[in-house]
């Protein structure tokens, strides 16, 4: 990272509480490399929305590849819908998207998916839901049981990372009996 880019990055102020009185179970993670403004680049749109997946056991290379595949599926879906924007029922010009590669934290426990672009609340709702489920579509069920998804944006809807479990917490123990993690000899 060049000194000019490093100087434009906002410092990580740490994570806030998930719910009132409930501390996060993971340490604060630094923001990703696309979490900065790129001055002097003309029409370049920097990332303004970030999606996160975290898992207490971390992501192996193979599991991270599953996330990258899910990102490709989501991107292809959004791009196909944008080609047919006239049929969306929303007025105005189609939103613009700028896609960035997924990143993995040093401890491999958090994947960051940065997205940039110009859109509206309606278009974001149409294409992004709260957190696109395609991002964990190809992860094995035994892994998704303990997976949390998060989102943060600069629009003000999610000013701090908002985490949600991908699998209902009250059903996790029962699911572990059905979706067993493979042993090293089975992998």
Residue pair 136/68 in contact (Cβ under 8 Å)? The answer is no
What fold is seen in the domain 42-177?
Alpha-Beta Plaits (3.30.70)
Residue numbers of the chain with a pLDDT score lower than 50: 1-43
What is the pLDDT, as a whole number, of residue 42?
Answer: 42
What is the pLDDT, as a whole number, of residue 185?
Answer: 59
The DSSP secondary-structure symbol of 36 reads B
Radius of gyration of the chain (CA): 18
Q: Which residues contact 12 (CB under 8 A, 6 or more apart)?
A: 28, 29, 30, 31
Cα separations (Å) of 140 from 43, 63, 108, 164? Answer: 39, 8, 17, 18
Residue pair 123/95 in contact (Cβ under 8 Å)? The answer is yes
What is the pLDDT, as a whole number, of residue 48?
Answer: 87
> Over the stretch 107-152, which tens digit does the pLDDT of each residue have?
999 999 999 988 766 777 778 776 788 999 999 999 999 999 999 9
What is the pLDDT, as a whole number, of residue 39?
Answer: 31
Question: For residue 153, what is the enclosing H or E element?
Answer: strand 148-153
What is the pLDDT, as a whole number, of residue 177?
Answer: 93
pTM score of the predicted model = 0.72
Q: Which residues contact 131 (CB under 8 A, 6 or more apart)?
A: 51, 149, 150, 151, 164
What is the pLDDT, as a whole number, of residue 85?
Answer: 86
What is the pLDDT, as a whole number, of residue 130?
Answer: 65
What is the pLDDT, as a whole number, of residue 183?
Answer: 79
What is the pLDDT, as a whole number, of residue 102?
Answer: 95
């Amino acid at each position: 990272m060049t000194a000019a880019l490093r100087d434009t990055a906002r410092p990580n102020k740490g994570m806030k509480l998930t719910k009132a009185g409930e501390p996060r179970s993971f340490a604060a993670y630094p923001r990703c490399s696309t979490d900065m403004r790129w001055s002097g680049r003309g029409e370049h749109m920097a990332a303004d929305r970030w999606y996160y997946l975290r898992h207490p056991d971390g992501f192996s290379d193979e599991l991270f590849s599953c996330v990258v595949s899910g990102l490709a599926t989501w991107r292809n879906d959004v791009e196909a819908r944008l080609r047919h924007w006239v049929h969306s029922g929303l007025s105005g010009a189609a939103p613009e998207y700028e896609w960035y590669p997924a990143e993995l934290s040093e401890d491999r426990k958090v994947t960051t998916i940065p997205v940039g672009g110009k859109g509206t609340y309606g278009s974001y709702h149409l294409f992004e839901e709260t957190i696109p489920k395609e991002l964990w579509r190809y992860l094995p069920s035994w892994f998704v049981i303990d997976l949390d998804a998060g989102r943060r944006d600069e629009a003000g809807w999610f000013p701090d990372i908002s985490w949600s479990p991908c699998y209902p917490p009250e059903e996790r123990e029962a699911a572990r009996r059905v979706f067993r993690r493979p042993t090293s000899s089975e992998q």
